[in-house]
Amino acid sequence: MAAERDVVGVVPAAGRATRISPLPCSKEIYPVGFRSGLETGAVRPKAACTYLLERMCFASITKVYVVLRDGKWDIPAYLRGGEQLGIELAYLIADLPFGAPYTVGRAVPFVRNATVAFGFPDMIYRSEDIFARLLERQAVRPADILLGLFPVEAGRQVDILDVQDDGRVRQVVVQPPDARLRSTWGVAVWTPSFSEFIDAYVRDHAATAAAEPEPSMGSVIQQAIEAGLRVEAIRVCDTPYVDIGTPEGLLEAHRRAIRCDEHGRNEHTT
């Protein structure tokens, strides 16, 4: 049944980018030059979210919902229908401003019966095949949620995963100080069971959301584990992603772009 479901992308783009403001545009379309694993020559900047959308397209995921908030109209103005990327984009408006789970929950009525491919549009992923790896594994060993693992550098504030040898996730530790764990997640695929879980979570949490800290996707995944959903993880990349939604990540992206550009110029002059 899992192999017969449509695979639909969901991209949360309703954030306010307060950590890196002010920007001249939404962070999701902020131009970033970055070399992927297969590219050579000079690097031309492109919208940050393009790195995610291209990797979805690489895995033959061609239908994607981008969930916006009111006012971020520069994103559809730039991406339009997705024709230049070889995908079909549709846009939804998030109606509750309480974090990524609420943004994702807005898409549930449209993807309720689909396998969902999920990623963050302000993260730069080096490997092209991250979703292809997830879908290949999900086809032979389905889980309610399958997370794509990336290495994490010491001291970074990210969700850290405690994963068993068989790939089962014991715990998602949200932004921990524990330096012993060395893997984080950056992309995922999930079944309708987790879409329904998010939908129920948003309905139950909404009444008190304004008075509570903003939930993360990691915290909701941890609650899914505690509720008995099967959450697994596999390594999809051997290098960390770069999160341009943080000041240090944006600076790192600029540094890497400069190094790539210098490398490209050197290639053309030798």
Q: What is the mean pLDDT of residues 5-9?
A: 93
> Is a pLDDT exceeding 90 seen at residue 57?
yes
Q: How confident is the model at residue 247 (pLDDT cuts 50, 70, 90)?
A: confident
Instruction: Report d(CA 263, CA 36) in Å as an integer.
Output: 13
What count of other Cβ atoms lies within 10 Å of the Cβ of residue 27? 24
**Spatial CB neighbours of 8, under 8 Å, sequence gap ≥ 6:** 61, 63, 64, 65, 110, 111, 114, 115, 116, 117
In Å, the largest CA–CA distance within the chain is 63
Which own/partner contact pairs does 88-92 have at CB distance under 8 Å and 24+ positions apart? 88/62, 88/63, 88/64, 89/64, 89/65, 90/63, 90/64, 90/65, 90/66, 91/65, 91/66, 91/67, 92/65, 92/66, 92/67, 92/68
Per CATH, which fold does 2-269 belong to? Spore Coat Polysaccharide Biosynthesis Protein SpsA; Chain A (3.90.550)
pTM: 0.89
Residue spans of the domains in the chain: they are: 2-269
pLDDT at residue 121, rounded to an integer: 96
**Spatial CB neighbours of 186, under 8 Å, sequence gap ≥ 6:** 119, 120, 123, 125, 130, 148, 150, 237, 241
Listed in sequence order, the DSSP H helices in the chain are: 48-58, 74-79, 100-105, 108-111, 130-140, 192-205, 217-226, 247-269
Q: Which amino acid is at 186?
A: G
Which of 90 and 207 is assigned the larger pLDDT?
90
Q: What is the mean pLDDT of residues 212-227?
A: 94
> Is a pLDDT exceeding 90 seen at residue 95?
no
Which of 2 and 182 is assigned the larger pLDDT?
182
> Is a pLDDT exceeding 90 seen at residue 126?
no
How confident is the model over 149-190, as pLDDT tens digits?
A: 999 876 677 888 999 999 999 999 876 655 566 789 999 999
Instruction: Report d(CA 173, CA 167) in Å as an integer.
Output: 16
Which own/partner contact pairs does 20-27 have at CB distance under 8 Å and 24+ positions apart? 20/244, 20/245, 20/246, 20/247, 20/250, 25/74, 25/78, 26/72, 26/74, 26/75, 27/122, 27/244, 27/245
Q: What is the mean pLDDT of residues 104-125?
A: 96
pLDDT above 70 coverage of the chain, percent: 86
Q: How confident is the model at residue 81 (pLDDT cuts 50, 70, 90)?
A: very high
> Is a pLDDT exceeding 60 seen at residue 269?
no
Q: How confident is the model at residue 147 (pLDDT cuts 50, 70, 90)?
A: very high
pLDDT at residue 264, rounded to an integer: 43
Q: What is the mean pLDDT of residues 220-241?
A: 96
> Is a pLDDT exceeding 70 seen at residue 35?
no
The bridge status of strand 123-124 relative to strand 145-151 is: unpaired
pLDDT at residue 36, rounded to an integer: 54
pLDDT at residue 155, rounded to an integer: 61
Q: How confident is the model at residue 253 (pLDDT cuts 50, 70, 90)?
A: confident
